[in-house]
A and B are shown apart, each in its own frame.
Chain A
Amino acid sequence: MSAHPIEDHGLLRFLTCGSVDDGKSTLIGRLLFDTKTILADTLNAIEKTSQKRGMGAVDLSLLTDGLQAEREQGITIDVAYRYFSTGTRKYIIADAPGHEQYTRNMVTAASTANLAIILIDARKGVLTQTRRHSKLASLVGIPHLVVAINKMDLVDYSQDTYEKIKADYLEFAAKVGIDDIRFLPMSALNGDMIVDRGDSLNWYEGPTLLEILEAAPAAHTEHTEKFRFPVQYVCRPQDSANPELHDYRGFMGRVESGSIKVGDKVTVLPNGLESTVKAVQIGGVDIGEAGTEQSVTLLLADEIDTSRGDMIVKSSEVPPAVKEIAATVCWLAETPLDRARTYLIRHTTRDSKAKLTAIDHRLDVNTLEKVPAEKLSMNDIAQVRFKLAQPLFVDAYEDNRATGAFIVIDESNNNTVGAGMIR
């Protein structure tokens, strides 16, 4: 559609995990700088700041310096989003802080990412935090992990060091069941193996970090997924000036998974009525079919009473209705989960009141052991069960991120207090 004959490889969302000490900010700064995303005026500003702070070279980590409060405290307190483009692909980086108390930020950042870069300081090897980040990435279902062994310049670019860290990591990964992993050595500070190969890591023959990113699949999964279409909004124009629109009833939503085309047999949940897709449209224009992540409007052959919160699925792939869910929950709020209270669970476009019935165990994010728990506090991750007031139509999170995920809302202040993945 574009006038430019450039190949478009879509958009990749990825996450960087690590602390400032691992060189995460420097890595992001380097990616932005080497892909020419940083413009001269921004560069001038950080040059000045670098000089003010008495640093010899330009400190690329300053590019990702955030809010005033954080600058004063010298830490990162929230997820920040950065953008760059290579001309063939657009990237969204979710920059999540690495401190232990910010598990919730990492889970938040990971929830929309399709790839995670786990940074390891070559001098320190696999640390508790490395294991924590990797486990969280795998819990949130990130399909591709890149383990970047950074600061190779500080270990004389030693291949032995690299191989040893890689072996350590693989041993750990096998235990927690992470399989799709790429490794690479790099120096974010000097720019080795990020965008350019540099001269110091000639023993490494694999792709640079950017080459890995360019080749990673943009779609969340290459599996064929079941069609899931939560209804966001119903369009009934009822325009008296236009009789053609008199009976128009468009179900608006995003194809969360799978695909749909005119003629497909569908079932509308929760009422379970069947119909056939009469039209697939964007903005009132017929497009015939739609795939995952497209926002469209569906018209059905039969008049079925449907509203926001309903879900349209293919009649051959109807998900079960459940009134109790077992899920891995990350608690996000400062106020701990209160077992006596009723919460609101938002799943796709559907809400249901919910009450906690059990905490099966909590995950110690440092030892990765399951431990008994009576309560859930901020940054805790636990396997729990909820009882629901309304039935929800769910898939297991590992099969379907969109219909396997939910958030927990505290109705007293409307805060989002928990994130859940149905197991």
Chain B
Amino acid sequence: MTQRSTLSHLDWLEAEAIHIMREVAGQCANPVLLFSGGKDSICMLRIAEKAFRPGKFPFPLMHIDTGHNYKEVVEFRDKRAAELGERLIVRSVEDSMARGTVVLKHEGESRNKHQSVTLLEAIEEFGFDCCIGGARRDEEKARAKERIMSFRDEFGQWDPKNQRPELWNLYNARSHKGENIRAFPISNWTEMDVWQYIEREGLELPSIYFAHTRPVVIRQGAIVPVNVPLVSGELTNLPKAGEEIIDKLVRFRTVGDISCTAPVESDADDVAKIVVETATTTITERGATRLDDQTSEASMEQRKKEGYF
């Protein structure tokens, strides 16, 4: 009998995530890693480096761009992919709109849920048999039962009652043509783990994760950013008539489509301060900042069934 040394929790989580990524690479013929420029997918890239360097990644990176993403994040996305020397595919919800496969109910409707359509179109275009994503089980309760290898049918649908049991670390990423696996290497990470990992690894992030001053309005109790410049320079999220614009010191806890991610008030301007803030916050990550999850109690579950990540 010898006393074994125990991995720290971050080392353990990282080793698990590397193992999962390598299983995807070993089992799937044509996988892709979804990279948005957000903090979770930034961690995924570091894990991929640890998993596959000095080789190239055995998959390209892909971003489904709603056309309403923060300029800082889009720029970071392109810069990071270039630094890594990996191929980045961008497919745009606006192209799906032009094709007529995405129809907005009204001009201002959030494009977030429509990413599913564009994602499925891209999967078909490239013949991807597995999409690796940075979703975490702690994000939302519909995700608490998600598998690490999640099976989707030919329509990209997630059927919670038809998921493969997952035992030990024996992952089953097999699929028939047209079907698809979504693989989630950081399933077991929490928001805190992500920030601690970013701190430990010294990972660079888009500037809007850190405290900065921006014009906002208060709408139904939420801080809503307004007059947000797009990559094109055009302003989006214009204030509604009668709303008072105020400059607030804020940062983003999650980053997604501009129309549905709200910042939180914060003066945390470096990762260490964010770790402290994350440890002491009283509001959940999505509760504070995702306007789209509050529509109904089961809204994430509904979107997942329709092919959302």
Q: Is B87 an interface residue (CB 8 A)?
A: no
CB pair A78–B26 under 8 Å, yes or no, is no
B7 touches A294 (CB 8 A): yes
Interface presence of A68 (CB below 8 A): yes
Q: A85-B190, A407-B172 are in contact. Are A9 and B272 (CB under 8 A)?
A: no
**A349 to nearest B CB, angstroms?**
6
Contact assessment for B170 and A11 in the assembled complex, using a CB-CB cutoff below 8 Å: no
B12→A66 contact, CB < 8 A: no
Let me know if B174 and A414 touch, CB within 8 A: yes
The answer to whether B2 and A224 touch across the interface, beta carbons within 8 angstroms, is yes
1/0 per residue, CB under 8 A from B, across A399-411: the answer is 0011001110100
Asked, given contacts A83-B137, A283-B53, whether A405 binds B167 with beta carbons under 8 Å apart, the answer is: yes
Q: State whether B282 touches A40 (Cβ < 8 A).
A: yes
> Inside 8 A of A65's CB, which chain B residues have their CB?
141
CB <8 Å contact, A237 and B55: yes
Q: Is A159 an interface residue (CB 8 A)?
A: no
State which of B111-119, B244-252, B283-291 sits at the interface with chain A.
B283-291
Cβ of A68 and Cβ of B53 under 8 Å apart? no
> At the interface, yes or no: A368 with Cβ under 8 Å from chain B?
no
How many residues on B have C-beta within 8 angstroms of the other chain's C-beta atoms? 71
Contacts of A254 in B (CB 8 A): 15, 18-19, 169
Shortest Cβ distance from residue B13 to the other chain A in the assembled complex, whole angstroms: 7
- Are the C-beta atoms of A284 and B174 separated by less than 8 Å? no
Among A68, A223, A282, A295, the residue within 8 A (CB) of B19 is A295
- A112 contacts across to B, CB distance below 8 A: 167-169
In the complex, B175 has a CB within 8 A of chain A = yes
In B55-71, the 8 Å CB interface with A consists of 55-56, 58
How long is the Cα–Cα vector from A35 to B12 in the complex, in angstroms? 22
A87 to chain B, nearest CB (A): 8
Contact in complex: B160, A78 (CB < 8 Å): yes
Q: How many residues in A have their beta carbons less than 8 Å from beta carbons of B?
A: 77
Say yes or no for B238: interface residue by CB 8 A criterion: no
A253 neighbours in B (Cβ, 8 Å): 19, 22
Is A292 an interface position by the 8 A CB rule?
Answer: yes
Q: Which residues of chain A come closer than 8 Å to B138, judged between CB atoms?
A: 82-83
Min C-beta distance of A384 to chain B, whole Å: 16
Tell me the smallest distance from the CB of A281 to a CB of chain B, in Å: 9
Is the CB–CB distance between A77 and B282 below 8 Å? no
CB pair B137 A232 closer than 8 Å: no
Residues of B near A236 (CB, < 8 A) are 55
Q: Which residues of B contact A89 (CB under 8 A)?
A: 9
- Among A164-172, A188-196, A244-252, A260-268, the one that faces the other chain is A244-252
- A282 CA to B167 CA in the complex, in Å? 26
- Cα distance A283–B176 when bound, in Å? 32
Query: At the interface, yes or no: A108 with Cβ under 8 Å from chain B?
Result: yes
User: Which of B160, B169, B175 has the most chain A CB atoms inside 10 A of its CB?
Assistant: B169
Q: Looking at the complex, which of B34-42, B76-84, B102-110, B193-201 is the stretch in contact with chain A?
A: B193-201
CA distance A253 to B188 in the complex (A): 20
In the complex, B232 has a CB within 8 A of chain A = no
By the criterion CB–CB under 8 Å, are B287 and A41 in contact? yes
Is A389 part of the contact surface with B, judged by Cβ < 8 Å? no
- The interface-forming segment of B44-52, B89-97, B211-219, B260-268 is B44-52
B1 to chain A, nearest CB (A): 6
- Contacting A295 at CB < 8 Å: which of B6, B51, B272? B51
Interface string of A279-295 (1 = CB under 8 A from B): 00011100000011111
* Contact in complex: B287, A222 (CB < 8 Å): no
Contact B4 A233 (CB under 8 A): no
Say yes or no: A295 contacts B15, CB within 8 Å.
yes
User: Given the complex, which residues of A lie within 8 Å of B55, measured CB to CB?
Assistant: 235-237, 250
Q: Which residues of A contact B160 (CB under 8 A)?
A: 67, 69, 78
CB proximity of B297 to chain A, nearest CB, Å: 8
A42's partner among B58, B166, B287 (CB-CB below 8 A) is B287
A223-B174 in contact (CB<8A): no
Question: Shortest distance in angstroms between B271's beta carbon and chain A's nearest beta carbon?
Answer: 9
Given A67-B142, A68-B301, check contact A416 B22 (CB 8 Å).
no
Known: A222-B1, A283-B53. A409 touches B6 (CB 8 A): no
**Bound form: Cα–Cα A282–B8 in Å:** 16
Min CB distance, A351 to chain B, in Å? 10
Flag if A284 contacts B15 (CB, 8 Å).
Answer: no
| Nearest CB of chain B from residue A234's CB, rounded to whole Å | 9
- Per-residue CB contact flags for chain B residues 133-145 toward chain A (1 = under 8 Å, else 0) read 0000110011011
Q: Residues of A at under 8 Å CB distance from B? A: 1-4, 8-11, 39-42, 65-69, 77-83, 85, 89-90, 92, 104-105, 107-108, 111-112, 217-219, 221-224, 232-233, 235-237, 239, 245, 248, 250, 252-254, 282-284, 291-295, 308, 332, 346-349, 401-402, 405-407, 409, 414-416, 419
Contacts A108-B167, A283-B50, A409-B174 aside, 11 further interface pairs with beta carbons under 8 A come to A2-B196, A4-B275, A81-B137, A81-B145, A83-B138, A92-B188, A233-B26, A235-B52, A239-B54, A295-B15, A414-B176
